[in-house]
Amino acid sequence: MALPRTLIEPRLIYLEPAIRDHARGREVLARFPQAELVEVASHWQIPQLADPALAEDWLRVKREILVLGVKKGLAMRPNGRSADFIAPSSSNGCAMACAYCYVGRRKGYANPISIFVNIDAITRAIARHAARLGPKPEPNSIDPVDWVYDLGENGDLSMDAALSDNVRDLVAAFRTMPHAKGSFATKYVNRDLLGYDPQGRTRIRFSLMPETIARVVDVRTSPMAERIGAINDFVEAGYEVHVNFSPVIVHEQWEAEWRALFAELDSQLSPRARAQLKCEVIFLTHNAGLHDLNLQWHPRAEEWLWRPDIQERKWSQSGMQNLRYKAAWKRQWLDRFLGWLAETMPYCEVRYAF
């Protein structure tokens, strides 16, 4: 596809020297011949991106900077929610700028996209892992038949597909893996993926929220109507398509907005899309560090995200101290949310909610 230049137009590429030893690395460099190239020892350790002043230039960093590296760790991590396992990432970071994004900013401020060029090693590692597992012994909430591998934990693969063929290669790899299925969430509609021929072996999860809030916190993403409008086409192209209602942000008008979203989604789905639809429900998680960063580049978003009157501190499984909605209230809000969904879309199975 033509690169969406309003989202990303690399003018500066930080690269590990070893990327030139990989065909994918050479391909990406050839796509951007005018970009300035700066070699770095590690795609994680780029001093130029660690300047706190960059927090005020958040969107320019995401638009104009690309990082190319070699993925070192190729281990699978158990998950149990969106997927059975988290696969080694083919990328890190994102050109989009959702204000609530949890992806670690180890590269520095704004976390521009890193593309990992050793995609062959990544796909081989997944294939070996799936082969060792063999058939899935019993159904679970993730999938009744296949082991599911999350491919996009640290980025958005629909956006990555505009920069390299990594995503095409991943989709092709899963066509040949018995008992395994790839999965990734997205907030960007890239219709080039319709030609990847997934043959039911890749699951795309379109993230949805009411447009009123999305206009503020889902920065540089595809409009909600475009995401909803793409679902039928992706189902027809051979993808399994689920939706993520994420993050659910509680505020005074949230019931009317979510009911309207459910009604819009229900009205747009084809019978085939409806028959295979499932969802995840994820309430907002925030933290003080992200709050402080957002105040430097997008303070308006914090009017929705920072609600200490209804939030409490809680330690995450990864050892981070986060802010979540107060437990007693959240349980009631989640029950209400699931009730609204069931009234409008009783056919939509909720795979998990928290």
Distance CA 278, CA 245 (A): 11
Please write the tens of the pLDDT for every residue from 263-283: 999 999 999 999 999 999 999
* Residue 26 CB neighbours (<10 A): 12
Find the Cα–Cα–Cα–Cα dihedral 151, 154, 32, 12, rounded to 10°. -170
- Per the DSSP assignment, residues forming a β-bridge with 78 are 85
Residue 122 host element (H or E): helix 119-133
Secondary-structure percent of the chain, ordered helix, strand, coil, rounded to 5? 40, 20, 40
Please write the tens of the pLDDT for every residue from 17-34: 999 999 999 999 999 999
Backbone angles phi, psi at 125, to 5 degrees: -65, -40
pLDDT at 4: 61
Handedness of CA 336, 337, 343, 347 (dihedral sign): negative
Query: Which tokens go with 254?
Result: 């949230």
Mean predicted lDDT score pLDDT of the chain:
95
Distance CA 145, CA 136 (A): 6
Please write the tens of the pLDDT for every residue from 58-87: 999 999 999 999 999 999 999 999 999 999
Q: Are 102 and 49 in contact (CB under 8 A)?
A: no
pLDDT at 52: 87
- Per the DSSP assignment, residues forming a β-bridge with 243 are 206, 279
Q: Are 154 and 103 in contact (CB under 8 A)?
A: yes
- The DSSP 8-state label assigned to residue 106 in this structure reads T
Q: Are 93 and 67 in contact (CB under 8 A)?
A: yes
**Placement of tokens 């989640």 in the chain:** 334
Domains (ranges, CATH) in the chain? 12-353 (3.80.30.30)
pLDDT at 315: 76
Please give the full DSSP string across 12-64, using - where no structure is assigned. EEEE-GGGGGSHHHHHHHHH-TTSEEEE-S-SS--GGG--GGGGGGHHHHHHH
Residue 205 host element (H or E): strand 202-208
Mean pLDDT of 215-244: 97
In this predicted structure, the answer to whether residue 317 has a pLDDT above a threshold of 80 is: no
Mean pLDDT of 317-327: 82
Please write the tens of the pLDDT for every residue from 159-208: 999 999 999 999 999 999 999 999 999 999 999 999 999 999 999 999 99
pLDDT-wise least confident of 37-41, 80-84, 273-277, 315-319: 315-319
In this predicted structure, the answer to whether residue 321 has a pLDDT above a threshold of 90 is: no
Query: Which tokens go with 73?
Result: 């760790």
pLDDT at 5: 62
Please write the tens of the pLDDT for every residue from 274-309: 999 999 999 999 998 899 989 999 999 999 999 999
In this predicted structure, the answer to whether residue 319 has a pLDDT above a threshold of 70 is: no
pLDDT at 305: 97
Nearest CA among 110, 42, 113 for reference residue 71: 42
**Placement of tokens 């409806």 in the chain:** 274
Select the more confidently predicted residue: 348 or 51: 348
Q: What is the pLDDT confidence band of residue 109, given thresholds at 50, 70 and 90?
A: confident
Question: What is the rounded radius of gyration, in angstroms, for the C-alpha atoms of the chain?
Answer: 20
Query: Which tokens go with 140?
Result: 């679970």
pLDDT at 351: 97
What amino acid occupies position 192? D
Give the HSE-up count for residue 131: Cα atoms under 13 Å, Cβ half-sphere: 9
